[in-house]
Copies of this chain bind each other. A is one copy, B any other.
Amino acid sequence: MDKMTYTIGIDVGGTNVVAGLFDGDGVLLAKLKTPTEKSSGTEGFLDQLAGLARKLLSERGIAEGSLAAVGIGLPGFMNEKDGTVTAANLPLSGTPVAQLLSRKLGVPVAVQNDVRMIVYGETIRGAGAGYRHVLGLTLGTGMSAAFVTDGRIHTGAEGLAGEIGHVIMDGVQYTCGCGMTGCLETIASATGIARQAQDGLAAGRGGLLAERFPYPSSRGELTARDVWQAAVDGDDFALSIYRYTAEKLALALAPAVILLSPDVVIVGGGVAAAGDILFGPLREEVSRRVHPLYRERLRIVPGSLDDDAGLIGSAAYAQSLQSR
């Protein structure tokens, strides 16, 4: 790609949109963040994305003609057949986002599920750089996964690959937002970790969390970060929550590791910030379930791009489609 052309990556969340400008070498030149426009319909939302792209260019004095492509990651379902997007938390319902935005900006636009863009970003420039087969998970409010192999995002039949948060695990009794009972996501997510702590406290578990949240009325505010802090401070109950979460995750992850033999498993999202409190038991639980050949070369690591993974992935993905 010409050094004088630019790519823009946009990471759309339910709360904020972050857009980044990248040069031909993939260097992030500028970044803009703004609340997601959800009140003025599809058109307003798409105008916001187009506006952010134009602003990134104009602030740097770059002509629109120098923009090569735009990549967008968003929390929604991609219909691969007709290229439309449906997202519960955005004004998108069967919307051909790439086509509409491409018309507004006059450049090719690539749209993908946000987790796929994050994992793609980590694969191209982050913790997965240099590896051919990368399995990525994000443990945030929800849980999702993506598999990138030889530079391709595996999207699967009907584009449905990756929703590993919605596999039912034995012994899990929580009802999931998706309507099922026992989804992995109800345990292995920031929400799931907080929920386990709240439930334990309600059932009379003592320790640091009970000391720090003495009043039942305040326990709704308890987050995964509080559980992590208590675990770091050595609290048995908090540590047991991370161990249980790791056990359940490993039950789904071990078969995937053996079936796919990824070079690396990258875990991102807010929960990954727990570091060794999560990664210690997770590595242990996956290791003990797989054949020594896989165990010896098992790498389960945090992402290295932090919040920029989605931006970087979106821009790199759009660029990769250009150069094919």
Contact = CB atoms under 8 A, between A and B. Distances in A.
Nearest to A137: B259
Say which size band chain A's interface belongs to: 35 or more
Interface string A214-246: 000000000000000000000000000000000
A157 B299 CA distance: 12
How many copies of this chain sit in the oligomeric assembly?
2
A258 to B, nearest CB: 5
A290 B167 contact: yes
Given A157-B263, A260-B161, A168 B289 contact: yes
Given A133-B156, A157-B133, A178-B291, A258 B297 contact: no
A255 B258 contact: no
A153 to B, nearest CB: 12
Contact of A261 (B161, B168, B183): B161
Contacts of A294: 160, 163
Interface string A140-162: 00000101010000111111111
Given A133-B156, A157-B262, A163-B291, 5 more contacts: A162-B258, A163-B294, A167-B255, A178-B291, A256-B259
